[in-house]
Structure 1
Amino acid sequence: MEPTKTTDFAGLAAELRISVARLSRRLRRQAGSELSLTQFSTLATLGKHGEMTPRALAEHEHVKPPSMTRTVASLESAGLVARRAHPTDGRQVVLALTDSGRSLLVEHRRLKEAWLAQRLAELTPGERAALEQAAPVLDKLSRS
């Protein structure tokens, strides 16, 4: 689809970038966490994909292993992540969420979703319908 008078891709890109960034910041504030975005993303990855090696976690998060080592160390000292021996390779360890880490993830999601549900309730039915149609498209963009 080529840009037309009614389709300004650069303008739409700028509007989406600003709106999505603002919404993301608002959602992060709702959880009131002391965790950095990197720390929370690391917890969320372990929560979604299960235990993994530090190297696999670094690759998944698109960071260098030394950066992931620091992130994991801080999460481990907070009691949110635990290490255990790799089941087949004694030279490696695997990382997993602790019960505290899992509980923190669940509570953060609950707080964010409650805030967002309240904001959605304040919209008109037409606005909610537009967002319902846009959600799969935004998801597609986020995965590209």
Structure 2
Amino acid sequence: MSDRALAVGRVLEELIEANRMLAGPRVAPFAGLELSRSHLEALFLIAHRDNVTPGLLASSMRITAGAVTQLLAKLREAGLVVATPTPTDSRSITLALTGSGQQELTVFEARAVEQSLPHFEPLTAAELDMLSGLLRRVTRRS
């Protein structure tokens, strides 16, 4: 195995460990509901990306269209997500958080950051910025 492949393997090992440390419970309280990590991931993607469609959600989360439909059903029933026809293609919909969905997510994210702060204590602000930038490059979201 090449030195680069070994280095990538070490990075993957650390990412898996970091994910385990930061992920929290498999089901989390959110707006009086117990949502799965997949529900929370969908809410996060809808909140932090532009023009999210069910197809984009499926590809980003690496799940089937049917799984997205199930996820969205619960989020829409809870009044957290709304779907509107896409202006350029009436056959497609764009997803957005409702006002209450955005408020709940803001509180949830603030709590998650607060709980994660101790794990990042060894890093300076500059190192955190560098880590964020490196991960963004790896995920090709420059």
- TM more than 0.5: yes
SS at match of 1:90: strand
Among 130, 135, 141, the alignment partner of 1:139 is 135
Which whole-Å deviations, capped at 9, do the CAs of 1:63-85 have from their partners, x for residues lacking one?
11111111111110111111122
Instruction: Give the CA RMSD over aligned residues.
Output: 3.3
Compared CA separation, residues 41 and 14, structure 1 to 2 (3 A): closer
Which whole-Å deviations, capped at 9, do the CAs of 1:31-67 have from their partners, x for residues lacking one?
6442111111111111111343222222222211111
Structure with higher RCO (Cα < 8 A, 6+ apart): 1
Any stretches of 5+ residues in structure 2 without a counterpart?
none
Q: Which runs of 4+ in 1 moved over 3 A?
A: 8-15
Number of residue pairs the alignment of both structures matches: 133
Report 1:55-66 matches (<5 A).
55-66=55-66
CA positional deviation for 1:142: 5.5
Q: Distance in 2 between matches of 1:96 and 1:14?
A: 32
Q: Distance in 2 between matches of 1:138 and 1:88?
A: 34
Compared CA separation, residues 45 and 136, structure 1 to 2 (3 A): closer
Q: Partner letter of residue 20 of structure 1?
A: A
Q: Which residue of 2 aligns with 1:2?
A: 3
Q: Which has the higher strand share?
A: 2
Which whole-Å deviations, capped at 9, do the CAs of 1:74-97 have from their partners, x for residues lacking one?
110111111122223333322211
Report 1:27-46 matches (<5 A).
32-33=29-30, 34-46=34-46
Asked if the contact 1:72–1:81 (Cα under 8 Å) also holds between the matched residues in 2, the reply is yes
Q: Which residue of 2 aligns with 1:98?
A: 98
* TM-score, normalising length: structure 1: 0.70
- Among all aligned residue pairs of Structure 1 and Structure 2, give the percentage whose two residues are the same amino acid: 26
Compared CA separation, residues 22 and 142, structure 1 to 2 (3 A): farther
Asked if the contact 1:53–1:94 (Cα under 8 Å) also holds between the matched residues in 2, the reply is yes
Q: Which residue of 2 aligns with 1:24?
A: 22
CA positional deviation for 1:16: 1.7
Any stretches of 5+ residues in structure 1 without a counterpart?
none
Which whole-Å deviations, capped at 9, do the CAs of 1:10-47 have from their partners, x for residues lacking one?
98458525531332233x58x64421111111111111
Q: Which has the higher helix share?
A: 1
